Chains A and B, each alone.
Chain A
Amino acid sequence: MADGADGMGRGVGVFLTACVCGIASGLFGIGGGVLLVPLLGLLFSFSQHRAQGTSLVALIPPTGVLALLAYARHGFVSWKTGLLLIPGVFLGGIVGGRLAEKLEPQRMRQVFAGILFALGTWQAFSAWWR
């Protein structure tokens, strides 16, 4: 449904959106999917599942490698903790992917959005009003 037609213009739009997600990725040390998924849905009318699957494609290549090198040059990488976290994230991802097919993703996303909002408020508060 979202294929073909004005493919070129849409491609440019998707690319520019991804650049914005990339800036957030380097700025905050994240993958960028948390921004990419809602934006693909809101701006390019991807269905929720399709947006999530497409976001996972964008996260397969080591997109953060240039940013990682910049952080590593400043000594801002805990290699050991990272290595311990990687297997869990991979295995958990398979479990989550299976769950996503069965669950109504709406409620899950709302719960996650609520947690994110609370976390964000906490972080901003503890940084600036301590």
Chain B
Amino acid sequence: MTSIILLLGLGVGVLVGLLGIGGGVALVPAMVYLLGMDQHLAQGTSLFILLPPVGVGALREYWKQGQVDLQAGILCAVGILFGALGGSLVALPLPSRHLQGLFGCFLMLSAILLWRKAQPESKTSGDGGRAYG
């Protein structure tokens, strides 16, 4: 079991560096399905994992390439700090079942947003050129 957990962390970490995300979005379902955790427990544990700066190694690679907007990043950090408190106050009283369902819907929405952004970047505004792939 321990080795499964260690490997899971490594796999999620690759996503962290590759996609510039925290990894919670992959960790939560993995803990629910692979480790059989309850939805609330998986989410709380995911927040704990994100407490230390797990992305700092990945950030260093981006920094070397000059791909960082420090000012925007700091603003985002402050916004997320307080937004997250508000979100947790909504999530905690919810029954686990509904929270899991909502999480599923959120994953679908994120997937659509990520996919949209995956279109070739063009100067035309809106969704003019729908050239997927």
Contact = CB atoms under 8 A, between A and B. Distances in A.
A96 B17 CA distance: 4
B42 to A, nearest CB: 7
A59 B61 contact: no
B108 A117 contact: yes
A56 B5 contact: no
A82 to B, nearest CB: 4
A29 B16 CA distance: 15
A29 B67 CA distance: 27
B44 A76 contact: yes
B55 A56 contact: yes
Interface string A83-124: 011111111111111111101011011101110110111111
Contacts of B52: 62, 86, 90
B79 A34 contact: no
Interface string B1-44: 01001111111111111111111110111011001011011111
Given A20-B83, A23-B86, A55-B21, A74 B40 contact: yes
Given A33-B22, A35-B113, A60 B55 contact: yes
A97 B114 contact: no
Query: Interface majority SS on B: helix, strand, loop or mixed?
Result: helix
Nearest to A18: B79
Contacts of B50: 30-31, 59, 62-64
Interface residues of B, number: 106
Contact of B115 (A93, A96, A108, A110): A110
Contacts of A56: 16, 20, 55-56, 58-59, 62, 68, 73
A46 B61 contact: no
B22 A127 contact: no
Contacts of A33: 19-23, 25
Contacts of B114: 34, 37-38, 109, 112-113, 116
A117 B107 contact: yes
The listed residue with most A CB atoms (<10 A of its CB), out of B32, B86, B88, B114, is B88
A71 B92 contact: yes
Given A29-B47, A60-B56, A70-B85, A127 B100 contact: yes
A92 B106 contact: no
Going nearest first, the 9 A-B pairs with the smallest beta carbon separation are: A92-B13, A31-B22, A22-B83, A88-B9, A96-B17, A52-B20, A29-B43, A26-B87, A18-B79
19 contacts: A14-B75, A20-B83, A28-B103, A32-B22, A41-B121, A55-B21, A56-B58, A58-B76, A63-B50, A68-B44, A68-B48, A96-B14, A106-B120, A112-B15, A113-B118, A117-B108, A117-B111, A120-B110, A123-B101
